[in-house]
């Protein structure tokens, strides 16, 4: 059962990052054992590991393994090589703030312990990356608890992309309330958008929800309006890769369209994510750099033969930004922020 397998793990004894290859799901559950920085960076870039929290955990484990392999006892030489490895991993996914957040947190361990031996710093890095994963699991549980507070048994919930256990260490963010609710005997009806072009909803969310015994219906992205019009959706739950200081939320491409539909039909639209995803140094969503993905993801991936004419131009942004005015609430491990987000998000950090 997929829910019993760790999405991201560290095998310190064998110096390996262990993860589920999500590009193979749902047809095959393949576990990868990655040793080199090139393998780890490729896994992040190619979405073998994906979801903001899981990327952060993988990056923390990855940079620890890089530090572990550095062969010097001299601090300055170690720091130079360490920072080189950290920047190499950070460039894999520029939009997801958790990647940079985790790497910067790990680097602070190195910078703030310059008077320690390199061996001691490596031990501290192991402790820190382990803490990042443990905190992620606890964080997801608490997001789930806060998310459950806005749901009732029997609710219909629409979600986009995958922000479940496969995107985190445990439970997920947007799907955490659903998994927790199922553990407590609650019954939800979940409609999951397929999420073109990488089909995270069809391949991942639908897979883990069905595996967990949740009543799940897969729909094409362009069916969301009809499902809402039918009265089948009581709330929309989505994850986020970055939230700006004003509450604008960057998430998988297609999310903003779902938010616009929810507004039209009067359905509450919630963004769920850890406070580490909130970037108070980014004023608005306009300041977020949107990653552009290869054209082949649209024209060739999933098809036995190319489905688009040669020479056609392709626009393939990985994310879009949902305007804060469309968001009912931002659910974090420290509570739910409501408009005005410039005030409520700051308050969450003060509470944190």
- Condensed to tens digits (0 to 9), the pLDDT of residues 162-180 reads 999 999 999 999 999 999 9
| Shared-domain flag, residues 136 and 148 | no
Q: What mean pLDDT do residues 282-303 have?
A: 95
Per-residue pLDDT reduced to its tens digit, 8-34: 999 999 999 999 999 999 999 999 999
Instruction: Collect all residues with Cβ–Cβ distance below 8 Å to 22 and sequence separation of at least 6.
Output: 47, 48, 49, 50, 166, 203, 204
Question: The CATH number of the domain where 47 resides is what?
Answer: 1.20.120.420
| Shared-domain flag, residues 231 and 281 | yes
Residue that is last in its domain, among 140, 162, 183: 140
Question: The CATH number of the domain where 174 resides is what?
Answer: 3.40.50.10470
| Shared-domain flag, residues 95 and 158 | no
Q: What residues make up the domain containing 251?
A: 142-351
12 is known as an active-site residue? no
Whether residue 256 contacts residue 224, with contact meaning beta carbons closer than 8 Å, is answered with no
Q: Say if residue 352's pLDDT is above 80.
A: no
Annotated catalytic residue, options 136, 193, 212, 241: 241
Q: Measure the CA–CA gap between 248 and 226, rounded to whole angstroms.
A: 26
Per-residue pLDDT reduced to its tens digit, 27-72: 999 999 999 999 999 999 999 998 888 999 999 999 999 999 999 9
| Shared-domain flag, residues 199 and 126 | no
| Shared-domain flag, residues 306 and 160 | yes
Share of the chain above pLDDT 90, in %: 92
Q: Say if residue 1's pLDDT is above 80.
A: no
Q: Measure the CA–CA gap between 50 and 163, rounded to whole angstroms.
A: 9
Instruction: Provide the number of structural domains found in the chain.
Output: 2
| Shared-domain flag, residues 33 and 104 | yes
| Shared-domain flag, residues 178 and 318 | yes
């Amino acid at each position: 059962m997929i829910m019993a397998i760790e999405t991201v793990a560290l095998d310190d004894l064998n110096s390996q990052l262990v993860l589920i290859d999500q590009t193979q799901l749902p047809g095959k559950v393949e576990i990868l054992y990655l040793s080199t920085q090139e393998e780890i960076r490729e896994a992040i870039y190619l979405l073998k590991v994906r979801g903001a929290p899981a990327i952060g955990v993988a990056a923390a484990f990855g940079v620890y393994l890089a530090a572990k392999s550095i062969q010097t006892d001299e601090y300055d030489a170690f720091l130079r090589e360490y920072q080189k490895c950290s920047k190499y991993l950070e460039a894999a996914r520029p939009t997801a703030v958790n990647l940079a957040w985790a790497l910067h947190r790990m680097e602070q361990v190195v910078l703030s312990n310059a008077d320690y031996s390199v061996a001691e710093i490596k031990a501290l890095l192991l402790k820190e990356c382990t803490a990042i994963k443990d905190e992620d699991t606890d964080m997801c549980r608490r997001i789930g608890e806060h998310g459950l507070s806005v749901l009732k048994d029997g609710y219909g919930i629409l979600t986009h992309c995958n922000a479940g256990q496969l995107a985190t260490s445990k439970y997920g963010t947007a799907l955490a309330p659903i998994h927790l609710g199922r553990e407590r005997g609650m019954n939800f009806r979940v409609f999951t958008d397929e999420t073109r072009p990488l089909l995270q909803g069809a391949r991942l969310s639908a897979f883990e929800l069905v595996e967990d015994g949740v009543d799940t219906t897969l729909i094409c992205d362009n069916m969301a309006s009809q499902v809402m019009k039918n009265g089948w959706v009581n709330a929309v739950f989505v994850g986020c890769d970055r939230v700006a200081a004003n509450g604008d939320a960057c998430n998988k491409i297609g999310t903003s369209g779902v938010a616009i539909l929810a507004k039209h039909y009067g359905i509450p639209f919630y963004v769920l994510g850890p406070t580490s995803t909130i970037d108070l140094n980014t004023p608005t969503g306009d300041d977020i750099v949107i990653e552009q993905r290869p054209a082949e993801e649209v024209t060739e991936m999933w098809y036995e033969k190319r489905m688009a004419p040669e020479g056609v131009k392709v626009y393939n942004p990985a994310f879009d930004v949902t305007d804060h005015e469309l968001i009912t609430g931002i659910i974090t491990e420290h509570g739910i922020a409501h408009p005005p987000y410039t005030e409520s998000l700051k308050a969450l950090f003060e509470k944190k």
